[in-house]
Amino acid sequence: MTFAVSTITATLGLLAPCAAALASATSSDRISLTGNGSTLTGTNGGEGGSLAWLHNFDPDTLLTLGAEHQRLGEAHWTFGSVTGAVTSELGNGRYTFSGEAHEGAGQDGPNSLQYRIEALQVTGTYFHRLSVQLEARRIDVETLHGNLPKITLTYLWTPHWATSFSRADSAGGNLGTQLNSLRIDHYGKSVNLLAGGSYGRASPIIIALGIVSPGHILREGYVGASKTFARRTEVTLTGDYLNLSGSKRATVTLSFMFHLGSLGARH
């Protein structure tokens, strides 16, 4: 999974407590289908896709099971994923406790590789506007290993505008990553828009297998839009441009979220 997709997904998860508070009190199922295509300096680019099942036992409990395959240059890898989240009211705040695990394997040219990433997050939402997320992420991919803690702050200025800032610093291992990221979201009546970027130092393997860069200086920007059709299908299109010390990658991702309907009775 590329860092851009991971960043977008994590930020969407940070806003989930606000969305859950507005949802009907019922269990539900969704299917997520995602495809992407990329160009990469000095290679024939790549492509990938994922399939996931999301189940809400209630508005405060979510379980996701999925699988993903990616290819970029000479590298390709496949992994399965499981994520879970529980939200509850504690004092004056609303807190979400979540975890995720991604396990798989692949090839980087002639070399086989193991793909293993786990993370735990705690998100606190206060006054229905401010969210603070603390994340501890462990990465063991090919020859790289280490921890990547991150803090993300999100503020909902109005019902239509939100901004997020995150800082990630690797600890231990050989990741060598320090990243600052900024994102802006606009929630419209018919279309939701997003734009953001990252700057700092990053390991090539964290960004994407197949990228080789001695300097590790990252500059990234992305934009996206999402729209719901007939209240049952959400379509999201994102474009991402990344420059890692002269190694340039552009990625377009198209995602579909299908709502399968309520499985439980409304309260």
Q: Is residue 173 part of a domain?
A: yes
pTM for this structure? 0.85
State the Cα–Cα distance between residues 210 and 142, nearest whole angstrom: 11
Q: Is residue 267 part of a domain?
A: no
Q: Which residue has the higher pLDDT, 217 or 209?
A: 217
Domain range for 96 is 3-260
**What pLDDT was estimated at residue 185?**
97
Q: Is residue 73 part of a domain?
A: yes
**189: CATH:** 2.40.160.40
pLDDT at residue 201 tops 50:
yes
Q: Is residue 45 part of a domain?
A: yes
State the Cα–Cα distance between residues 13 and 262, nearest whole angstrom: 21
- One-letter amino acid identity for 24? S
Q: Given pLDDT bands bounded at 50, 70 and 90, which one contains residue 261?
A: low
Helix %, strand %, coil % for the chain, to 5? Answer: 10, 70, 25
**What pLDDT was estimated at residue 87?**
95
pLDDT at residue 21 tops 50:
no
Q: Is residue 266 part of a domain?
A: no
pLDDT at residue 43 tops 70:
yes
Q: Is residue 265 part of a domain?
A: no
What digits encode the pLDDT tens for the residues 61-94?
999 999 999 998 888 999 999 999 999 998 889 9
**What pLDDT was estimated at residue 213?**
55
**What pLDDT was estimated at residue 200?**
94
pLDDT at residue 13 tops 50:
no
CB 201 within 8 A of CB 184: no
Q: Is residue 200 part of a domain?
A: yes
Instruction: Tell me the mean pLDDT in the region 104-123.
Output: 92
Q: Given pLDDT bands bounded at 50, 70 and 90, which one contains residue 125?
A: very high
Q: Is residue 249 part of a domain?
A: yes
pLDDT at residue 181 tops 70:
yes
Q: Given pLDDT bands bounded at 50, 70 and 90, which one contains residue 266?
A: very low
**What pLDDT was estimated at residue 76?**
93
Which residues, 6+ apart, have CB-to-CB distance to 39 below 8 Å?
45, 248, 249, 250, 251
Q: Structurally, how many domains does the chain consist of?
A: 1
* R_g (Cα) of the chain, nearest Å: 18
Nearest to 257 by CA among 219, 223, 231, 222: 231
**What pLDDT was estimated at residue 20?**
39
Element (H, E) at 39: strand 28-40
